[in-house]
Amino acid sequence: MRWIAAAAFLFGSLWACMGIVVASRVVSQKRKPVWMRLRINADRTIELPLSVISALPGQFGVWLKNGEHVVVGDVIHLGALRVLRKIDGGAEHLTTPTTAWGAWTTQNIGSPSDIGSATSVTIPLSGGEAATAWDIAAPTGEHERWSIHVHGLRSSRFGALRTVPATQAAGWRSLVVSVAGDEECTARQGSASTLGLLEAGEVGSALEYAVANGAKQVVLVGWSMGATAIMSLVEKSEFASYISGLVFVAPALDWEEILKLAVRSAKLPEAAADAAALVLGNSLGARLLGMPSAVDVSALKWQGAGDRRKALPTLILHNRNDDVVPFGSSARYAADPGSLTELIPFDGHGHCHESNQFPERFDLAIQTWLGQQFPTPGSSI
């Protein structure tokens, strides 16, 4: 019997370890940049080491070690070890061939000033921390209709900038916010994410800022985990009457499914997803992971959520081949009876690459939806 007990203990330990490893990867806020040696040519091209990521179609970005941002355009040539791509923006001062270290990113907008007139503002948070945000004026001078853009996990405000051109074109003022623990905001107690639960309060502070500055209608725009934070906020916000609609990009609307996809991608047994959920929902597990509080993953699911889902017009843009957040969760959310959701699928590759790979269709979809749902006075829509 002793060997049975020992085997059970060993199995239980391995199961718990798998859960901790998976959970830690899920809630980790920071992603270390992967630096690569690249060459910027005088003919406005850039040579990068060949990889699955650097060969992706679309427009992406590279952050150089000196802080400069380069907009990387179409693939020109794929070699055995290198890929040659266009440069669509940045590095204008480099007029002779230059070697540099850079990190690949989906962030293809390097500054809010590339979009419009932007002001950096500070938003106080309930715990005494402070969040930074860009307040980007609408080209029409609009001050009553606001869009608040919320980035996802292991990202920053630069990632959320990708939805601003569309809301700007529709005539809405934009607020692009950081949340505690990301690359800019003062970290709250505990360094790990709560998968949108505490982040919801920080989005609420941004909503308060918008209302205090004249907002009468607000559309919340969430990328990936930003959608989780927004859904959590909508359930309970005292400012819910100001929330007119939602726009989601690759939204995290079912964290149980996200965990299952993560363990499948890592070629781990599906039981590892259950173990991770137990770790995340346990106060001791949360402390081990550096989380300020435990998270009930089963509650972070809004398909068939009944009264928890407010009847808000919602637009979802999601890549069918998303390898992080399953497309099926968006499809089920949109198919719920009484849903006011329009789902626009994309056939690109990767997570949150919709705007990188289909920019015109992406922007037009948001602009058209805003015009249809919230027509301006005198509009022909």
Q: What gap in Å lies between CA 67 and CA 112, rounded to an integer?
A: 15
Domain containing residue 45: CATH number: 2.40.10
CB distance 289 to 192 below 8 Å: yes
240 belongs to a structural domain: yes
pLDDT(183) > 70: no
Mean pLDDT for all residues in the chain? 89
Whether this model's pTM surpasses 0.95: no
168 belongs to a structural domain: yes
245 belongs to a structural domain: yes
Q: How does strand 314-319 pair with strand 341-346?
A: parallel
pLDDT(380) > 60: no
pLDDT in tens, 120-173: 999 987 767 778 899 999 988 888 999 999 999 988 999 999 999 999 999 999
Residue 155: name the closest of 130, 122, 178 by CA: 178
At 265, phi and psi to the nearest 5? Answer: -65, -35
* Same domain for 181 and 157: yes
pLDDT(378) > 60: no
Domain boundary residue, one of 105, 138, 158: 105
Residue with tokens 């808000």, as numbered in its chain:
312
pLDDT in tens, 65-116: 999 999 999 999 999 999 999 999 998 888 788 999 999 999 999 999 999 9
Q: What gap in Å lies between CA 222 and CA 317, rounded to an integer?
A: 11
Read off the tokens for 135.
């307040």
Please give the tally of structural domains in the chain. 2
CB distance 136 to 168 below 8 Å: yes
pLDDT in tens, 235-264: 887 888 899 999 999 999 999 999 999 999
Q: What gap in Å lies between CA 293 and CA 284, rounded to an integer?
A: 9
* Same domain for 145 and 60: no
pLDDT number for residue 7:
40
* Same domain for 316 and 220: yes
Which residue range forms the structural domain that includes residue 86? 35-105
Average pLDDT score over residue span 332-337: 92
CB distance 203 to 236 below 8 Å: no
